[in-house]
Amino acid sequence: MKMWINGEWCDAESGETLFTINPTTNEKLGEVPSADQADVDKAVAAARAAFPAWSARTQMDRSNVLMKIAGALAAKAQEMAEWDALEHGLPAKLAFGPSMASAGNFATAAMLARGINGELVKVSNPNAMFIMDRVPTGVFALINPWNMPLFLMANKVALCIATGNTCVLKPPSCNSIIGLKFAEVMASVPELPKGVVNVITGKGGKMGKLLSAHPDIDGISFTGATDTGSTIIADAAPTCKKCIMELGGKNPVIIRPDANLDAAAEVLTHHQFFNCGQACGSPGRYYIHESIMDDFLKVFLEKAAKYVPGDPMKDGTVMGPLVTTSHLNSVLHYIQTGIDEGATLVTGGKKIEEGELAKGNFLPPTVFTNVTPDMTIYKEEIFGPVAVMTTYTDEEEAVKLANDNTYGLTASIWTGNIARALKLGRGLTVGTFSINQHNCLGPEVSWGGVRQSGVGGREGGTCGLLAFLEEKVITISLDE
Return the active site residues: 246, 280
Q: Is the dihedral of CA 53, 55, 59, 65 positive or negative?
A: positive
> Closest Cα partner for 347 from 374, 320, 313, 307?
307
Beta-carbon contacts of 156 under 8 Å, excluding residues fewer than 6 positions away, are: 142, 144, 167, 169, 221, 223, 459
Angle between helices 149-162 and 92-113 (to 10 degrees): 10
Q: Say how far apart CA 480 and CA 472 lie, in whole Å.
A: 25
